[in-house]
Structure 1
């Protein structure tokens, strides 16, 4: 190789190295990503009917009874070895109206408490959908949720009217 060619090749190599170093040391690059958002109307929940177990006679014997109100059938049943009884009268599951965008999925948490002491193992049932599939707001945008519950009583349970509250929280996804 001729000395001029060698000098020219060395100069070109040096220029490439310097320009590559300059590209790494300074300048900027830009990229763009797409952005999207879907705005949904807020989900609302309103109690439309309270939970009413009706009237129950406490057991006279030493055993206990569990009183259960089924939210799907609105039936109250007594189980256990106690000799308590359900008195005639109206009963009703709690009902809530859930309103929101059709297709929105959700879950619920719920709690049942009585203000007066005496009832034990108080619990609320899982919800039952009055229309559509539980956990998904139907096409109409309104779903009825029904709740029942249960509690135990025995011969020592105070005979009185009991009042309390059922709190339902809807967590939508």
Structure 2
């Protein structure tokens, strides 16, 4: 049984090393081929952590306790599952939720407030500066009411059509 524990420990350590060193290379090589296996808690880091903890726990319990092999095996499995849950809930899940994107949908801009940075003529186009999350974006804009709007004026987006924001003056 000690051989199995040592095998798991060595495999887990090697897997962690290979995934750190060659992770990007391997992920691009198998790009999407294993997506059908995507059970959320079976992330490679979680599985490798559990296998490594199983092997290490088994070795420690075998060397430093007088427990029988079935009790050692049971304790090693329970501790490995506990470590896997800790890794998943303390690291993998928060990191997945922490991913940011600077993308935004033009359709969701309706009702947002912006500021005219290039004057909008009554029958033409200007430009509006808007906040999007942590950044700003400039968008082509036209007057919804067909009236001229000067630079520096606060506007509200009434409609988005053909990648153009149709805006009206924002009055508080």
TM-score band, normalised by the shorter chain?
under 0.3
Which structure's residues are more often strand, by fraction? 1
TM superposition score normalised by structure 1: 0.21
- Structure ranking higher on relative contact order (CA contacts 8 Å, 6+ apart): 1
- Which one has a bigger Cα radius of gyration? 1
TM superposition score normalised by structure 2: 0.21
